[in-house]
Amino acid sequence: MPFIPHTEDDVKSMLQTIGVDSIEQLFDEIPAELRIDELVGVPDALCEMEITRLMRARSRQDGTPQCFIGAGAYEHHVPSAVWDIATRGEFYSAYTPYQAEASQGTLQVIYEYQSMITALTALDVSNASLYDGASALAEAALMSVRANRKVKTSRVLLAAGVNPTYEKVAHAISGNQGLVFDRLPLDRHTGTTDLAALATYDQEVVALVIQQPSFFGTLEPIDRLTDWAHQRAALVIAVVNPTSLAILKAPGHWGADGADIACGEGQPLGIPLSSGGPYFGFMACEKSLVRQMPGRIVGRTTDLEDKPGFTLTLQAREQHIRRSKATSNICTNQGLMVTGATIYMSLLGQEGLARVAQRSQQNTAQLAAKLTSIKGVTRLFDGPHFHEVALGLDRPVGPVLRALAGQEILGGFDLSASHPELGNALLVCATETKTADDLERYRRALSDILSASRK
Amino acid sequence: MPEKLIFEKSRPGRRAYAQAPALATATDIPAEFLRQDRPMLPEVSELQVVRHYTRLSQLNFSIDTNFYPLGSCTMKYNPRACNALAMLPGLLNRHPLGPVSHGQGFLACMYELQEMLKAVTGMRAVSLTPMAGAQGELAGVAMIRAYHVSRGDHERNEIIVPDAAHGTNPATATMCGCIVRELATGADGDVDIEALKQAVGPKTAGIMLTNPSTLGVFERRIIEIRRIVNDAGGLLYYDGANLNAILGKVRPGDMEFDVIHMNLHKTFSTPHGGGGPGSGAVGVGKRLRPFLPIPVVGRSDTDGSYHWLTEKDLPQSIGRLSGFMGNAGVLLRAYVYMRMVGRDGMRRIGEFATLNANYLQSRLRAAGFELAFPERRASHEFIITLKTMARTLHVTAMDVAKALLDEGLHAPTTYFPLLVPECLLIEPTETETREALDRFADAMIAIAERAKSDPASVQGAPYKMPVRRLDDVKAARNLDLAWRPEPRPEL
Ligand SMILES: Cc1ncc(COP(=O)(O)O)c(C=O)c1O
């Protein structure tokens, strides 16, 4: 029993205090016919040395290939200090800060985090996190239905560049409450929303979701889309990459009045890729919408002696108070990831984060230039991009990616499954972690693979 | 304030030089897409950052530093190995969309975790994707709805929820478009069977039951409850947040429940991280198997390799609940924990969690504390009510909770479940020594004495924390939710 400290004497005297003869007797309220004696299917215990050996082997099995995949999760340099500090026991093994006086560390971190998210998004308030970017969009869509009293529909419209998985997740989470999702068509030249379609779109919608940069890495005409939605009394939900906000226009400044809600995947802010999680969803909104927001919020207040301090606030929105009328069922969120992200944003600062954004954008541009110099590789879309670019290949993408993986290069995300209408399409990403040598290595490998199979 | 905000330590032009890449050449992005201002992130050195957040950490209570008997939260020791091994490079840096050729190690862990969770719950299949208990609940209720709809049973939209249930249960039912029917608890702490018989009907979609309940007792008439709900055509949801109490003793699958969510961040010891992340893996029986959320990890019969099961394999699935596969790193920690505990250890967890709770309950009862359910065994947790103290001395459960903090002991859960007045829900967990339990009991006894001799001193607690009691009313009224350079905006 690896983590149980009881000695035989402890057990004896504790049973005596309770007044029973055996531990078994403590389970006498469970109907006998339901009891089991053994757990078949759980292996024998391993000591730390043995499990370490096993996990090292598993880790080695997965290797450390060079990764040019983005599509919603991005490899960035993570300073050592981030997880050194975030995994200190005082952060790592604390619960939700319900006892505020004994949780000022966590609460202040969240307040600083909320401040940073509002700065990045140029909106008034931020919550303390949601599960991830995709589920954050589901919550934002539900929030827009609660908040927008001007229209009587649960139809949410998506700009062409919204991540297709986000749409699936938003549907799975909110569909039972009657939300339906509709999508604007893609302009096949620019890789952004087809503005011509706006003129003929005649459905009433509760909100328009705009992802910037789009799933294809292109830049949506955010100002025009925002103003168009507002003219139709729809709210605007911005799905944004937080790294990009160091240089790209903040949602609060989109169009004439700004987006109403911003949300997205917080992973780029110092969170390891880790097979998809734990990451965190962030959400910010205008102050008039704060009472419709899901999730925890930390506020600054004062104590009995008028000293400043932090506490969870506006809890009347939440499930533990409002139960079936809460804004969401979320309870446990992604607190530790927010701690990591706050340390990351402090270390990078405004200058550092802008450099990460610019360097990633530039590396991706250089990679696209190199790869499109190969015969049979073209750019799918004109126009500006952030740190991802969609490429067309002259043959199916799957086998090419497998051949690259054989050389320890993960060449990108195969768009042909999610977007068959684009043909043999590949989405590539090169963040600040890639050097000129890395880009050249990819070019050479792809060139060899394409020309070898052409022969 | 004990520690200034990081923004107040910021100076224009300062930064952590080692952490950012060299300047790129000017971007070719047109101006209409660019921001004109710089976002207000702090400008500080690396040492300033390290010192600031290290000092903030020291303002927290945590399992690693304090006894933390927070009922319903299972604050057991989080083994360090779980963290270290989940952060090995091949696992930590694996892209979620990477090919399975570069994920067999990771997928093997996930597949074996699914199998172990099946074994401990007795369910037929497991999906690991829900990212916390509440999302597991959402998956479960959505599956129950999908099941009824698949049978053309569109009218079944009522979910029965006992009044003792965690707030996420009714909130989840609403999120799934269902109507909540609240069920009363009997005086003995079990569900009121007569009330249940009244509540079920042709609109019943199912019941959400927590067992042991949040009252800290095992639902003795579980078989009868199942029969009543099944006879009415409803399905059974098992809130497994309290699984720690019954590990290796009894399995929800053997009770013929249709679906369970587990809080891996409770029972399987992944850290709470000051609020998350968690994992709310779900297990299902035969009826709900086709509706499991995706992705699930499958294993090839021919070569034993692992792969993802997706829409193609589970066409009736309720779909995807996260961008990728949920909180993979949390799942890895739970996997390591379960392998270290092993088959026999698993049973001992339930035994010693129960022993510790019953011991502490006995000690507090002997000292005169009033138990909410004095005739019952404690499961892994139990409730005392301070209603007499509150009435006669005007010292409340909240006051006692704050006084415990001054003793270096985290408070139990207060004012939950809502139906027990002035309650403390106490869950010591199996990883605490008898000495730790005695210290807690002694502190409770001393505080109770002080409540008699000097009630004001308890009402004013805490005194030794970084702050005194905080003004929650002011926090909600004068909203200050984000720092701004002066002047601060009025909200
Ligand atoms: C009984 C019970 N059910 C459900 C939950 C919800 O779990 P989570 O916080 O992981 O969403 C909790 C814990 O908070 C709980 O104690």
Q: Which of B81, B273, B366 sits opposite A51 (nearest CB)?
A: B81
Ligand 1: residues within 6 Å at CB? A 331-332; B 72, 132-134, 166, 168, 210, 214, 239, 241, 263, 278, 280
A173 and A201: one domain?
yes
Chain A CB contacts of B116 under 8 Å are 41-43
A380 and A321: one domain?
no
> What CATH number corresponds to the domain at position A154?
3.40.640.10
Beta-carbon pairs below 8 A across chains A and B = 711
- Residue A337 in contact with residue A271, Cβ under 8 Å? yes
Q: Which residues contact A53 (CB under 8 A, 6 or more apart)?
A: none
Mutation to probe ligand 1, out of A95, A131, A331, A334 (largest number of atoms < 8 A from CB): A331
Chain B CB contacts of A266 under 8 Å are none
Q: For tokens 């995994």, what's the residue?
A: A87
A395 and A304: one domain?
no
Estimate to the nearest angstrom the gap between the alpha carbon of A279 and the chain centroid.
5
Q: How far is the CA of B164 from the centre of ligand 1 (A)?
A: 13
pLDDT tens column, A410-426: 999 999 989 999 999 99
DSSP collapsed to 3 states, B262-331: ECCCCCCCCCCCCCCCCCCCEEECHHHHHHCCECEEEECCCCCCEEEECCCCCCCCCCECCCCCCCHHHH
A188 and A255: one domain?
yes
A261 located within any domain = yes
Note which residues in 145-204 of chain A have CB less than 8 A from chain B: 163, 165-166, 168-169, 171-173, 176-178
Inter-chain touch A326–B174, beta carbons under 8 Å: yes
Helices and strands: H and E segment counts in chain B: 14, 13
Q: For tokens 């927001």, what's the residue?
A: A293
Between A104-121 and A335-372, two packed helices, what is the crossing angle to 10 degrees? 40
- pLDDT (average), residues A175-181: 97
Q: Which residues contact A201 (CB under 8 A, 6 or more apart)?
A: A157, A184
Chain A CB contacts of B104 under 8 Å are 61-62
Q: Residue A127: pLDDT above 90? A: yes
What residue of A is the nearest CA neighbor of B351? A23
Inter-chain touch B343–A319, beta carbons under 8 Å: no
- Residue A124 in contact with residue A289, Cβ under 8 Å? no
A274 and A354: one domain?
no
Which 3 state secondary structure label does DSSP give B18? helix
A339 and A364: one domain?
no
Neighbours of A317 (CB within 10 A): 21
A353 and A274: one domain?
no
Token output for A247: 């240089």
> What CATH number corresponds to the domain at position A399?
3.90.1150.10
Inter-chain touch B102–A62, beta carbons under 8 Å: yes
Q: Residue A265: pLDDT above 60? A: yes
Token output for B338: 């379960």
> Of all atoms in ligand 1, which is nearest to the CA of residue B132?
10
Phi-psi category of residue B272: left, alpha or beta, with phi > 0 → left and psi -120 to 50 → alpha: alpha
Which residue's CA is the nearest one to ligand 1's atom 10?
Answer: B133
DSSP β-bridge partners for residue A282: A264
pLDDT tens column, A373-389: 999 999 999 999 999 99
* Torsion sign, CA atoms B271, B275, B277, B281: positive
A308 and A368: one domain?
no
- Residue B426 in contact with residue B392, Cβ under 8 Å? no
Topology adopted by domain B347-475? Aspartate Aminotransferase, domain 1 (3.90.1150)
> A189 phi and psi, to 5 degrees?
-85, -45
Domain regions of chain B by residue span: 6-57, 81-339, 347-475
For chain B, 491 residues long, give each residue's pLDDT as a single digit of tens: 579 999 999 999 999 999 999 888 777 899 999 999 999 999 999 999 999 999 999 999 999 999 999 999 999 999 999 999 999 999 999 999 999 999 999 999 999 999 999 999 999 999 999 999 999 999 999 999 999 999 999 999 999 999 999 999 999 999 999 999 999 999 999 999 999 999 999 999 999 999 999 999 999 999 999 999 999 999 999 999 999 999 999 999 999 999 999 999 999 999 999 999 999 999 999 999 999 999 999 999 999 999 999 999 999 999 999 999 999 999 999 999 999 999 999 999 999 999 999 999 999 999 999 999 999 999 999 999 999 999 999 999 999 999 999 999 999 999 999 999 999 999 999 999 999 999 999 999 999 999 999 999 999 999 999 999 999 999 999 999 999 987 544 55
What's the alpha-carbon Rg for chain B, to the nearest Å? 25
Inter-chain touch B376–A10, beta carbons under 8 Å: no
Closest CA of chain B from A397, distance in Å: 13
A332 and A400: one domain?
no
Which 3 state secondary structure label does DSSP give A285? strand
Token output for B304: 């034993």
What residue of B is the nearest CA neighbor of A361? B27
Provide the domain limits for residue A444: 349-452
Which residue's CA is the nearest one to ligand 1's atom 12?
Answer: B241
Chain A CB contacts of B338 under 8 Å are 42
Q: Residue A285: pLDDT above 70? A: yes
Q: Which of A412, A135, A420 is nearest to B323 (CA)?
A: A135
Closest CA of chain A from B124, distance in Å: 13
A256 and A133: one domain?
yes
User: Measured between alpha carbons, how far is B470 from A351 in angstroms, rounded to an integer?
Assistant: 36
pLDDT at B79: 98
- Residue B42 in contact with residue B10, Cβ under 8 Å? yes
Q: Residue A52: pLDDT above 70? A: yes
User: Measured between alpha carbons, how far is B384 from B376 in angstroms, rounded to an integer?
Assistant: 12
Inter-chain touch A165–B320, beta carbons under 8 Å: yes
Characterize the bridge pairing of strands A207-212 and A155-158.
parallel
- Please state, in angstroms and as integers, the Cα–Cα distance from residue A221 to each residue in A35, A159, B354, B454, following that order: 63, 10, 60, 67
- Count up the domains in chain A and report the number: 2
Phi-psi category of residue A178: left, alpha or beta, with phi > 0 → left and psi -120 to 50 → alpha: left
Burial B204-223 (b: 16+ CB within 10 A, else e): bbbbbbbbbbbbbbbbbebe
Inter-chain touch A104–B145, beta carbons under 8 Å: no
* Torsion sign, CA atoms B445, B450, B453, B455: negative
Which of these three, A280, A310, A343, is where a domain ends? A343
Note which residues in 221-240 of chain A have CB less than 8 A from chain B: 222-223
ipTM of the complex model: 0.98
Mutation to probe ligand 1, out of A332, A333, A334, A336 (largest number of atoms < 8 A from CB): A332
A266 and A410: one domain?
no
A39 located within any domain = no
Residue B206: enclosing H or E segment and its boundaries?
strand B204-210
CATH class (in words) of the domain with range B81-339: alpha beta
Token output for A181: 């999702």
pLDDT at B24: 81
pLDDT at B195: 96
pLDDT at B487: 55
Closest CA of chain B from A181, distance in Å: 15
